[in-house]
Amino acid sequence: AQRVTQPEKLLSVFKGAPVELKCNYSYSGSPELFWYVQYSRQRLQLLLRHISRESIKGFTADLNKGETSFHLKKPFAQEEDSAMYYCALGGSNYKLTFGKGTLLTVNP
């Protein structure tokens, strides 16, 4: 069965500090992993996907198949990064299995 685990419900850092949001997955095949973000009063939107190996808004995420992890990282957090972050695992018919989310707060 597919499963996504985000161990931290809440994460609080100061502006300029590094941030890492953890995500571990369980999947028997070749995984397709995503990070979605929900800013206050906005709809959920794609932040990045592991296939494109891109950096969006300074965030990166590397798929580690050995550790079954897809942690989201940013070297210098900004106040506008405060949001709810969801790690998601893709399945058949482009369905997504979401983790429970991590609420990131970046303090000034």
Partner 1 sequence: NAGVTQTPKFRILKIGQSMTLQCTQDMNHNYMYWYRQDPGMGLKLIYYSVGAGITDKGEVPNGYNVSRSTTEDFPLRLELAAPSQTSVYFCASSTNTDRGSEQFFGPGTRLTVL
Residues that bind partner 1 (CB under 8 A): 4, 6, 9, 32, 36, 43-46, 49, 51-52, 86, 90, 93-101
Burial of 64 (0-12, 13-18, 19+ CB in 10 A): exposed
Nearer to partner 1, 89 or 106 (CB): 89
Least gap, CB of 46 to partner 1 (angstroms):
5
Nearer to partner 1, 43 or 108 (CB): 43
**Residue in 42, 71, 44, 69 with CA at minimum distance from that of residue 59:** 71
Nearer to partner 1, 67 or 94 (CB): 94
Nearer to partner 1, 90 or 106 (CB): 90
Specify the 3-state DSSP secondary structure of 94: helix
Least gap, CB of 76 to partner 1 (angstroms):
26
Contact 94, 49 (CB under 8 A): no
Specify the 3-state DSSP secondary structure of 93: helix
Question: Residue 66: CB partners within 8 Å, gap ≥ 6?
Answer: none
Least gap, CB of 49 to partner 1 (angstroms):
5
